[in-house]
């Protein structure tokens, strides 16, 4: 029994020791709860807040995109069912869903800017005491909230806005929800802005580099990097977004002209897409054009979109066709080879003419100079052509091209020399480290041997004459060179 009690006591003591060790190893706080003040940025905290900001933005993107889809479905169903009203309850349900999603999107926008403000505080972009109203984020917040406020609601479902058709003065009308859906299409620009935040260039590390070089870290910078890295996909995305945005907004604006108080006719969607296409391409054939005020506003904005897209496309083509330094050198060498071949052909022709002239002079009368005048003129013209080719051959490289090429090759050589110097320095330090390691290892072995010799169980002794011959060398090397060389780091 006494043995069992002792075992139980030992088990209890072991469990207490394990709990005490776990409590000792347990962290006193988390990354975000660390209240120690520091004048430097904590990359762990900023990375965590930045990823939290991206998660909120992804959720906001999904909510806004779903709201856009529901708004399109609601508009199409309400326009087709505006007189019969067979699906009035379903349309009302869609309006309530759109209204609820708009409120959620605005709430997520406020949350997103709060997280972004916390990130900027931890990154020391703004002061820790700054609020959202005191920072520059308030302007972006106001713009995004204003873009999301216009939304069709169940409270404005049957309210009409009358107007007169241009050129015919016929009475027409819009529903308020149609105008709100027309304004809701502007959220496409907001979706593009959020989509840029999910590129590989938009990260916490790049933001730290931008702060290091005092560069603004925003979607404008990401757009410029995308235009430089993936210009084709970027322009294609902008073109498709413009076609959808302005094509559908023009459909909403011009579709009201095809109905009266009792009936309506179907609208050709291809007409809106065609007008949008020729406007973005800055062609403007004039076969179709908007006649309503909303349609003209949409096409006026589309003109600026098209001019910007066309300008970016032209710049992309120019950069793609711009010759690089290596290509210019290749072209110069090819042109020099071509000129050399032409000079060779002229030289052969000149040699043949001179030989023919010599033969003719030996066989005919030397006093008759009229026969040689034509041959001499041809030889003189050939000499002039050869001299011109020589000048062209010398000037074909171009001074600017050769200077640029020499500078490029010089930079490359400097980079190689710098890398070679780093490798040599690393090799030297590694060699010295190996020497120190060998010295320490031999010292430990020698001390162990002395310890064994001095123990009472071993009665053997070792004299100084039988010690290692390299021990004095390693000791001298450590005292005189190794410590100083190991501290000699080069930039």
User: Per-residue pLDDT tens for 179-207?
Assistant: 999 999 999 999 999 999 998 888 888 88
By the 8 A CB rule, do 53 and 117 touch?
no
Condensed to tens digits (0 to 9), the pLDDT of residues 402-412 reads: 666 677 777 77
Token pair for 113: 């800017």
Q: Is the pLDDT of residue 10 over 70?
A: no
Segment 248-275 shows an average pLDDT of 84
Residues 131-183 have pLDDT tens digits of 888 888 999 999 999 999 999 999 988 888 888 888 888 888 899 999 999 99
Alpha-carbon distance values, 134 to 115, 119, 128, 311, 363 (Å): 15, 15, 11, 37, 106
Specify whether 354 is located in the same domain as 471: no
Do 459 and 385 have their domain in common?
no
Domain membership of residue 11 (yes or no) is no
Q: In the predicted model, is pLDDT for residue 468 greater than 90? A: no
Assigned domain for 271 exists: no
pLDDT on residue 368? 57
Is 152:102 a contact under the CB 8 Å cutoff? no
Phi, psi of 252 (to 5 degrees): -65, -40
Same domain, 188 and 50: yes
As a dihedral over the C-alpha atoms of residue 255, residue 261, residue 262, residue 268, rounded to 10 degrees, the angle is: -10
Judge whether 370 lies within some domain: yes
Most confident of 395-399, 435-439, 470-474, 478-482: 435-439
Give the lowest-confidence range in 288-297, 383-392, 426-435.
383-392
Confidence band of 56 (pLDDT split at 50, 70, 90): very high
pLDDT of residue 403: 67
Q: Looking at the structure, tell me whether residues 478 and 364 fall in a common domain.
A: no
Mean pLDDT for the stretch of residues 117-140 = 89
Q: Which of 345, 331, 437, 330 is nearest to 382 (CA)?
A: 345
The mean per-residue pLDDT over the stretch 67-86 comes to 86
Domain count, the chain: 3
The more confident residue out of 338 and 218 is: 218
- Residue 404: inside a domain: no
179 shares a domain with 73: yes
Confidence of residue 53 (pLDDT cuts 50, 70, 90): very high
Q: What is the spatial distance between Cα 199 and Cα 227, in angstroms, rounded to a whole number?
A: 12
d(CA 225, CA 313): 15
Q: Which of 27-31, 36-40, 176-180, 387-391 is the most confident on average?
A: 176-180
pTM of the model as a whole? 0.64
Q: What is the pLDDT of residue 340?
A: 76
Residues 381-389 have a mean pLDDT of 73
pLDDT number for residue 165: 87
pLDDT greater at residue 225 or residue 411:
225
Identify whether 56 is part of a domain. yes
In which domain, by residue range, is 347 found? 325-397
| Statement to judge: residues 444 and 393 lie in one domain | no
Q: Which contacts qualify for 136-144: CB closer than 8 Å, 24 or more apart?
A: 137/113, 140/113, 141/109, 141/110, 141/113, 144/109, 144/190
Q: Could you tell me which residue, 419 or 246, shows the higher pLDDT?
A: 246
Contact (Cβ atoms closer than 8 angstroms) between residue 375 and residue 357: yes
Residue 129 falls inside a structural domain: yes
325: pLDDT confidence band, cut at 50, 70 and 90? Answer: low
CA distance 331 to 339: 12
Find the farthest-apart pair of alpha carbons in the chain and give their distance in angstroms, rounded: 150
| Same domain (yes/no): 189, 75 | yes
Q: Does residue 34 lie within any of the structural domains?
A: no
Measured CA angle at 123 (ends 119, 128), to 5 deg: 75
Looking from the CA of 272 toward its CB, the CA atoms found within 13 Å total 20
CA 279, 285, 288, 291 dihedral sign is positive
Q: Do 80 and 187 reside in the same domain of the chain? A: yes
- Is 264 in contact with 286 (CB distance < 8 Å)? no
Residues 180 and 54 occupy one common structural domain = yes
Lowest-pLDDT choice from 102-106, 280-284, 359-363: 359-363
Average pLDDT over every residue of 302-327: 84
Same domain, 60 and 145: yes
Does one domain contain both 357 and 435? Answer: no
Res 19 pLDDT > 70: no
Residue 29: the pLDDT is 46
Q: Is the predicted pLDDT of residue 465 greater than 50, yes or no?
A: no
User: Do 461 and 367 share a structural domain?
Assistant: no
27 belongs to a structural domain: no
The per-residue pLDDT for 464 is: 44
Residue 144 to residue 140: CA distance in whole angstroms: 6
């Amino acid at each position: 029994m006494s043995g069992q009690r002792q075992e139980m006591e030992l088990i209890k003591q072991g469990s207490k020791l394990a709990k005490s060790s776990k409590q000792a190893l347990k962290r006193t706080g988390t990354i975000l709860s660390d209240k120690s003040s520091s004048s430097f940025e904590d990359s762990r905290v900023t990375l965590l807040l930045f990823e939290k900001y991206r998660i909120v933005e992804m959720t906001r993107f999904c909510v806004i995109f779903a709201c856009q889809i529901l708004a399109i479905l609601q508009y199409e169903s309400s326009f087709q069912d505006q007189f019969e009203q067979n699906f009035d309850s379903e349309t009302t349900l869609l309006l309530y869903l759109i209204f609820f999603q708009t409120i959620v999107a605005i709430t997520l926008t406020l949350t997103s800017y709060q997280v972004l403000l916390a990130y900027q505080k931890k990154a020391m972009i703004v002061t820790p005491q700054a609020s959202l109203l005191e920072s520059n984020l308030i302007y972006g917040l106001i713009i995004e909230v204003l873009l999301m406020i216009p939304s069709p609601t169940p409270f404005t479902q049957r309210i009409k806005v009358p107007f007169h058709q241009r050129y015919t003065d016929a009475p027409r009308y819009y529903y308020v929800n149609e105008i709100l859906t027309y304004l809701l299409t502007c959220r496409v620009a907001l979706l593009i802005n959020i989509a840029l935040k999910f590129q590989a260039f938009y990260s916490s590390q790049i933001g730290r580099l931008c702060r290091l070089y005092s560069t603004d870290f925003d979607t404008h910078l990401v757009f410029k990097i995308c235009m430089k890295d993936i210009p084709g996909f970027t322009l294609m995305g902008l073109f498709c977004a413009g076609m959808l945005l302005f094509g559908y907004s023009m459909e909403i604006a011009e579709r009201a002209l095809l109905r009266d108080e009792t009936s309506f006719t179907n609208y050709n969607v291809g007409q809106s897409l065609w007008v949008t296409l020729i406007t973005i391409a800055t062609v403007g054939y004039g076969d179709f054009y908007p006649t309503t005020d909303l349609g003209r506003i949409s096409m006026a904005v589309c003109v600026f979109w098209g001019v910007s897209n066309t300008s970016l496309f032209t710049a992309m083509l120019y950069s793609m066709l711009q010759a690089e330094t290596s290509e210019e050198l290749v072209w110069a060498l090819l042109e020099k080879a071509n000129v050399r071949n032409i000079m060779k052909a002229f030289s052969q022709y000149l040699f043949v003419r001179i030989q023919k002239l010599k033969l003719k002079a030996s066989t005919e009368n030397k006093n008759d100079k009229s026969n040689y005048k034509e041959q001499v003129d041809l030889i003189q013209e050939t000499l002039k052509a050869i001299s011109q080719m020589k000048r062209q051959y010398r000037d074909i490289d171009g001074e600017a091209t050769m200077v640029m090429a020499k500078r490029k090759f010089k930079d490359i050589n400097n980079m190689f020399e710098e890398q070679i110097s780093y490798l040599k320095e690393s090799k030297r330090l590694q060699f010295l480290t190996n020497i120190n390691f060998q010295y320490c290892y031999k010292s430990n072995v020698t001390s162990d041997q002395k310890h064994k010799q001095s123990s009472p169980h071993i009665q053997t002794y070792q004299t100084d004459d039988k010690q290692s011959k390299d021990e004095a060398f390693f000791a001298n090397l450590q005292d005189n060179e190794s410590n100083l060389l190991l501290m000699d780091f080069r930039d």
